[in-house]
Amino acid sequence: MAQAILRRRISFTQHSTAEMAVASEILQKLQRDINCLEDDDRSTRKRAIEKISSETVGRRDQLNQDELQDLFKAIIKPLLKRFSDPVEKCRQLSIKLTSSFLSKVKNYGDILPYLIPCVRSRLATPEIVEPSEEIRLQLMKLLLNLCNWCSSNDLAVYLDDYVAIIQRCIVDPFPDAKKESCNCIIAYANLIPSEKFQLQSESLIKPLTVSLAHQHSKVRIVCLKAIGVTLQKGSISPLNDILPSLAQRMLDHSPSVRSTLTEILANWMMNLMDRYSYFHKILPLLLTSQTDELPEIVELGKKLYDKVGEQYEKENEEELKDQLDYENPTLSSASRPRLGCRVLVQRNFSKILPALLRDAADWTVISRIKSTALLHVLLIHAEDHVTQHIGSLLPGLYKACQDDEKVVADQSESCATVVGKHVHPDIFVKLVLNAIKSASGGGGATATASSLGSCLRVFAAMLKECDTEKLSSHLQTICSTLCHRDICMTELMPCQIQLLHIVKAIIKNAGINCKPYCKDLFKILIYILALQSNEGLHNQIEETLSELASCYETNDRLHLYKLFMRDLLTELKGDHGIWVSSSPERYVFECLLRSSGPVVGQMLDIAIPILISNLNPEKDPELRLKFFTLFSNLLVNANMTLNSEGTFIMYIEGVIADAIISNCVWKAGRAAAAMRTAAMSCLWALLQSGLATYEQLSDLLDEILTKVKSCIDDDNQSTRLISCKVLHKLLQICETKLDADALHNLYPDLLKRLDDNNNEIRVVVGKTWITYFSSFPSPYNQSLYSAHLKAIYNGLLIHLDDPYPKIQEIVLEILKCGGKLHPSLLKEQVEQVHHKHRVRTYCDELINYLQGLMNDDS
């Protein structure tokens, strides 16, 4: 063996001697070129570098490592001087040649003491010494390659130099130089021992943070990776300072940046040395990935966090053993986060929630959107652990639900749904109901759409998935509270919508078990129906009423009116004497009468007195106008509303006397005129319905005719028109039961209306005249009343020559009808005016007609 060792030593010595000889020979050949590196001529220096390269690293017959090592040692100093050559090409070639040597040699101990300071002098100065971006990039690549070529021991001693260089180059204006600097950090941190890297790692965080906002996404990505390695291999204390910048990158417009950050955060959660102390800081950022707009990043975030939770379970296996073995079967599902993920959130929730609620009220929209989305994810993981934080959480949800940004409000509603699913109703019902009372004005405040609406919205969301059995004991309290007039009588649309959602949630949750509270729910729905002004909401309420009726095994919502309408009307009757047009109770009363269909016929004993009372002439004109409109609409289809039970006829006399006639008295002003029009319209609807008979009207007939005659001469055109129709209908109802004096009192006003400036009124009066002549009793004393007939005939004959042809035709029919009373008198009157008429055709026709009547009589 000794002989073998001796032979190897002799062989090695001979081999080394041979290599040294080769290197010496090459150095002798290149000595002039080495000297030329200092020449003043730029071309000479350039050719010298190229010559040295071709005779060393660029030889066809390649030299071995030892030969190159000897050559590199000999030329390193003059070569490094060319790093600061005034000619860019020379600097580029010298750096390239140096890199080539470094890639081929194996011993760097004699090289690095010269190389590293030289590079530092070019890159780590306060002002940029190396003007060329490409040269700076080339030098950074050289430093990066050193991390791959050299050992940890070789480079660890140059920590200060590396950090100084990287600090300066991270903020280099050249993007590629920034990227190489970050890659250099990653490589160097992974190469040297962590205990050494920690000494200087903190100084790298500030320039890295600055570069996080660079416009190029690739720069931001590699910068994030560098931060990830720096904090993991070095000191973690800068994490607090860099969190705001990392949070901004979670909102980065580049998906690659967001996914990269997600991977880094998950890695920290699993591999940071002191990670348990920083879970509450890293966790919100990692879970934010589950709120990303891209499904791919959401899936990535869930997958990585699942791994984090799995590792946490293993690390705390003894502590979590019971929970792992006895999972709640009612909550178990494929979408439920694993136990480790949930426990991580639950143990850090108290530290995360306050800041998150502050961000949910931030002035920037994107912060509010992301905060409420993150809160939803946290609540899913926290489950019933959120109970102990309900006092601070609910006010935050109320405020977020009234956000102007729809996305924020919707996400907050989703948060409330999760809370309602996991928190016991014993805890949240009382808290939310108190908030609703306070927001409605019950707590001394004034109700607003935002405050009351947001409280109701949160409550509606919490009831959606609340446990049915647990909620049942609170239904009475909920329903009775919501029935309070300050809440259910709100005219604010957002509040009405949320009240409807609450009722829907109760019906869906309790089903047939809500039967004991149907009256309260019906009352709430009616109040919403009465005060809303949206057609879409109206349809939803009708559907909900049908759903509520299903508690009684029927879909007919009229069944609910039969059960509860009388009680509601009785409640309303209590203060009906002080209603004004804007009173919510007035709207509710009107809604009940309009929407109850035939059921209203069963409630006349309560409804009619309220109607009559509010049609008192002393009441507000606008209020009376509303009630006249309601009454008229109900009378249009009276047999399916007021008279559905056939009992309305008992109230007709009182309605006419106390409600209609009393409002026909002439008073000055437009309001009084409008009231007379409304009263006449209501009387017309009543007479048109066919419910009123002569026997019912007989006692009031004189008073009615007096008021109708007054209104026929009203200044308001609509009043005159309707009054003519009313008189026409009255004459039809009375048939021939009116005495002659009553009829004679009417014709002066009818003649006057033939001179009306509105042709529509004149046409209606013409029809009334025909009915008028049909109403004369038989027999009629012609000789006794000839003066009246003569006045009637003379007045009508004027309009037989009317400029309006239609009036001429109508008057001709009137005279033919009226001529039957006294043909000879009318014939005489026609002959007297015949020559005065412009169009005598009608006179001739009338004379012939009357002559025929006279011939028949004879």
Q: Where are the alpha helices (H) located in 37-64, listed in sequence order?
A: 42-55
pLDDT of residue 462: 95
* 3: Cβ contacts below 8 Å, ≥ 6 apart: none
DSSP code of residue 659: I
In this prediction, residues 538-564 reach a mean pLDDT of 89
The half-sphere exposure of 657 on its side-chain side, counting CA atoms within 13 A, is 13
Q: Dump pLDDT digits (tens) for 18-67.
A: 666 777 888 888 888 888 888 889 999 999 999 888 888 887 777 888 88
- The 3-state DSSP class for residue 59 equals coil
pLDDT of residue 524: 94
Q: Is 400 within 8 Å of 360 (Cβ atoms)? A: yes
* 255: Cβ contacts below 8 Å, ≥ 6 apart: 294, 296, 297
Q: Is 797 within 8 Å of 754 (Cβ atoms)? A: no
Q: Dump pLDDT digits (tens) for 409-446.
A: 999 999 999 999 999 999 999 999 999 999 887 544 44
* 467: Cβ contacts below 8 Å, ≥ 6 apart: 425
Mean pLDDT is lowest, of 20-29, 227-236, 583-592, for: 20-29
pLDDT of residue 165: 94
Q: Dump pLDDT digits (tens) for 642-673.
A: 999 989 989 998 999 899 998 888 888 888 88
Mean pLDDT is lowest, of 23-37, 375-389, 568-582, for: 23-37
Q: Is 664 within 8 Å of 680 (Cβ atoms)? A: yes
Check pLDDT > 80 for residue 325.
no
pLDDT of residue 326: 67
| Closest CA relative to residue 730, chosen from 754, 715, 746 | 746
Give whole-number Cα distances, 443 to 458, 498, 642, in Å. 19, 20, 42
Per-residue pLDDT band for 836 (boundaries 50, 70, 90) equals confident
Long-range contacts of 96-101 (CB under 8 A, 24+ apart): 96/53, 96/138, 97/49, 97/52, 97/53, 97/56, 97/57, 98/142, 99/138, 99/141, 99/142, 99/145, 100/53, 100/57, 100/58, 101/56, 101/57, 101/68, 101/71, 101/72
Rounded to a whole number of angstroms, the CA Rg of the chain reads 50
Q: Is 546 within 8 Å of 560 (Cβ atoms)? A: no
Q: Is 480 within 8 Å of 524 (Cβ atoms)? A: no
pLDDT of residue 17: 67
Map tokens 């004027």 to a residue. Answer: 798
In this prediction, residues 155-175 reach a mean pLDDT of 92
pLDDT of residue 3: 44
Cα–Cα distance, 654 to 190 (Å, whole number): 100
Instruction: Give the mean pLDDT of the chain.
Output: 88
pLDDT of residue 398: 94
Cα–Cα distance, 668 to 117 (Å, whole number): 106
Cα–Cα distance, 676 to 664 (Å, whole number): 5
810 alpha carbon, distance to own chain's centre: 63
Map tokens 């000297």 to a residue. Answer: 35
Give whole-number Cα distances, 586 to 582, 590, 592, in Å. 7, 6, 10
Phi, psi of 502 (to 5 degrees): -65, -45
Map tokens 């860019």 to a residue. Answer: 88
**Cis amide prior to 779 (ω within 30 degrees):** yes
Cα–Cα distance, 805 to 817 (Å, whole number): 19
In this prediction, residues 736-760 reach a mean pLDDT of 88
DSSP code of residue 120: H
Per-residue pLDDT band for 298 (boundaries 50, 70, 90) equals very high
User: What tokens does 23 get?
Assistant: 């290197």
* Cα dihedral 36, 40, 43, 49 sign: positive
* 37: Cβ contacts below 8 Å, ≥ 6 apart: 45, 48, 49, 78, 79, 81, 82
Per-residue pLDDT band for 7 (boundaries 50, 70, 90) equals very low
Q: Is 514 within 8 Å of 507 (Cβ atoms)? A: yes
Mean pLDDT is lowest, of 72-86, 323-337, 488-502, for: 323-337
Look up residue 821 and give its amino acid. Answer: L
Domain ranges of the chain: 250-320+337-410
- The 3-state DSSP class for residue 775 equals coil
| Closest CA relative to residue 751, chosen from 696, 712, 704 | 712
Per-residue pLDDT band for 189 (boundaries 50, 70, 90) equals very high
Check pLDDT > 60 for residue 243.
yes
SS3 string of 606-625?
Answer: HHHHHHHHHCCCCCCHHHHH
- DSSP track, 667-701: -SSHHHHHHHHHHHHHHHHHHHTT---HHHHGGGH
* 712: Cβ contacts below 8 Å, ≥ 6 apart: 720, 723, 724, 727, 749, 750, 752, 753
In this prediction, residues 265-276 reach a mean pLDDT of 92
pLDDT of residue 180: 95
Cα–Cα distance, 418 to 433 (Å, whole number): 18
User: What tokens does 146 get?
Assistant: 């050193």
pTM value surpassing 0.95: no
In this prediction, residues 621-646 reach a mean pLDDT of 91
Q: Where are the alpha helices (H) located in 124-170, listed in sequence order?
A: 133-149, 152-156, 159-170
pLDDT of residue 363: 92
Could you tell me the end-to-end alpha-carbon distance of the chain, in angstroms, rounded to an integer? 173
Return the ∠ at Cα 48 (arms to 81 and 120), rounded to 5°: 20
Per-residue pLDDT band for 327 (boundaries 50, 70, 90) equals low
